[in-house]
Amino acid sequence: MWFFSWLLGKRRSTDPSQTDGSSLETAIVVSDVALEYEYLARRFGQIHVDWELVSQALLQSNDRYFDRMRVRTEEMEVDVFFDVTSTMSR
């Protein structure tokens, strides 16, 4: 997972287990919102075939902004968090 966060934006940590997007604390930092969908496609497969986006929410915690993407596959429903702070200042 750390590779995707490196590929898609700046990493907050050098520890790959700390950038998996499973919480606000481990959110994947992206420099462009479109990269969220690229990450989700790489992780889950083709949208509308392998997975569906159930919901998307913009969250704020302290001085940071996050997108929470709720994804449903046949096996599970999971939240993936992205740090979109850098996109908010544009």
Structural tokens at position 78: 């999971």
Q: How confident is the model at residue 38 (pLDDT cuts 50, 70, 90)?
A: very high
Q: How confident is the model at residue 9 (pLDDT cuts 50, 70, 90)?
A: very low
User: What is the DSSP secondary structure assignment for residue 25, as one 8-state letter?
Assistant: T
pLDDT at site 85: 95
pLDDT at site 88: 86
- Quote the pTM value: 0.79
Asked if 39 and 53 touch (Cβ cutoff 8 Å), the reply is no
State the chain's mean pLDDT as an integer: 85
pLDDT tens digit sequence for 54-67:
999 999 999 999 99
Q: What is the mean pLDDT of residues 4-25?
A: 61
Q: Which helix (H) or strand (E) holds 2?
A: helix 2-8
